[in-house]
Amino acid sequence: MHFIVTGGAGFIGSHLVEQLLLEDHSVTVVDNLTTGKHQNLPDHPNINFIQKDIIACQPEDFIQPIDGIAHLAATPSVGESWSNPLEAHHNNLSAMIAVLLLCEALKIPKLVFASSAAVYGNTSQLPVLEEHPTLPISPYGLQKLVSEQYANLFAPQLRLAFVALRMFNVFGPRQRPDSPYSGVISIFTNAMQQGLPITIYGDGTQTRDFVYVKDVAVAFTKALTTPLPAGSCLTCNVGTGKGTSLLQVVNIFKTYFPQWNSKINFTAARLGDIQHSYADISKASSSLDFAPQWLVASGIGRLVESL
Ligand code: UD2
């Protein structure tokens, strides 16, 4: 099959491209390389690379037929969505409308969207179910939520099968550690590698549903390839269904960096930080046959090996 992956040169997108190639599909990657990198992509005859903003793409840019599009291109940062909400709105929400128009023009039957647990905000009920209230607490979360709602509105009209994958805390190789809003695992990896101290906001007992990027790539691939009715909409959490505390994460890191003996600075919890979060993944399991294969420890091990 032939799929478009927007943001295909980014962290999660590039792993998805690898998975699709592994399953013998061909892939058109659209990426403006703002945060993505060309080196993230393998050299493969079945990749066609378009260096463009998805909003600037025209139907003529694509080779047809297209069996589905995975839309991951975004400003993937909560911090930037606060500091530059208009640009984030353009990249996160307007881009989704551009993708829907492309689906219409190119008669693409399937759209899989990279949504986020950020749509839930500070949910207090655990595990987090897709039916729980969505009360985003950042422009980023709001843009992801409204993107889902646009697609839910357009899908029946366009006879498009739409899947929103609400990702929890994704980690793995190629995640950028360079912003305070980067995932904690990429920040810790970077610090440990350089023998630098790490900072824990709060007491480290907070838990997150850390899901390895290879499992996420498989979830996207299943969403792209599982036959779903035209005009239908599906929303699924993507996580492991288990919470891991930061203290547990630090202990895992210590096994991979036994020589690391820098300080752990404990400081005040971040404003708005939630204490516990983990997903209910039964919907992804029943609808997409998704079953995470990677333990947090083995994922961190592979990440460290990749350095
Ligand atoms: C995740 C998303 C964020 C937003 C939010 C919505 C990631 C990477 N971040 O934030 O974009 O969607 O969910 O709920 O998926 N921490 C430290 N030390 C550090 C960095 C972080 O202690 O150097 C703590 C942080 O305060 C938090 C935990 O580690 O308690 C996880 O932080 P995170 O930024 O990786 O992820 P999260 O769930 O807060």
What is the 8-class DSSP label of residue 268? P
184 lines ligand 1 (CB under 6 A): yes
Q: Is the pLDDT of residue 144 over 80?
A: yes
What is the distance in A from the centroid of ligand 1 to the CA of 112?
24
Whether the CB-CB separation of 143 and 150 falls below 8 Å is answered with: no
- Strands 207-208 and 244-245, bridge-based pairing: antiparallel
Quote the radius of gyration of the chain (alpha carbons, Å).
Answer: 19
118 lines ligand 1 (CB under 6 A): yes
What is the distance in A from the centroid of ligand 1 to the CA of 181?
7
- pLDDT score at 124: 80
Q: Is the pLDDT of residue 204 over 90?
A: yes
- pLDDT score at 99: 98
Kind plus residue range of the DSSP H or E element containing 294: none
Amino acid at 1: M
What is the rounded average pLDDT of the residues 52-74? 97
Confidence of residue 1 (pLDDT cuts 50, 70, 90): very high
- Strands 68-71 and 210-212, bridge-based pairing: unpaired
Active site residues: 140
213 lines ligand 1 (CB under 6 A): no
Q: Is the pLDDT of residue 181 over 80?
A: no
Q: Is the pLDDT of residue 102 over 90?
A: yes
In angstroms, the CA 47 to CA 4 distance is 10
SS3 labels along 188-202: HHHHHHCCCCEEEEC
Q: Which of 116, 201, 253 to mutate to test the pocket of ligand 1 (most atoms within 8 A of CB)?
A: 201
- Assign 183 to helix, strand or coil: coil
Q: How far is CA 44 from the centre of its chain?
A: 23
Please give the C-alpha separations between residue 252 and each of 192, 246, 248, in angstroms, as whole numbers: 12, 10, 6
- pLDDT score at 29: 98
Whether the CB-CB separation of 156 and 105 falls below 8 Å is answered with: no
Question: Where along the chain do its domains lie?
Answer: 2-170+213-239+279-292
Indicate the pTM of the whole model: 0.97
Range in 31-45, 146-160, 169-183 with the lowest mean pLDDT: 169-183
CATH superfamily for 2-170+213-239+279-292 is NAD(P)-binding Rossmann-like Domain (3.40.50.720)
Q: Which of 132, 169, 198 to mutate to test the pocket of ligand 1 (most atoms within 8 A of CB)?
A: 169
What is the distance in A from the centroid of ligand 1 to the CA of 133?
20
Confidence of residue 180 (pLDDT cuts 50, 70, 90): low
Residue pointed to by tokens 């970077």: 190
- pLDDT score at 274: 86
Q: Is the pLDDT of residue 273 over 90?
A: no
Confidence of residue 264 (pLDDT cuts 50, 70, 90): very high
200 lines ligand 1 (CB under 6 A): yes
Percent of the chain whose predicted confidence (pLDDT) is above 70: 99
Q: Whose CA is nearest to atom 12 of ligand 1?
A: 118
289 lines ligand 1 (CB under 6 A): no
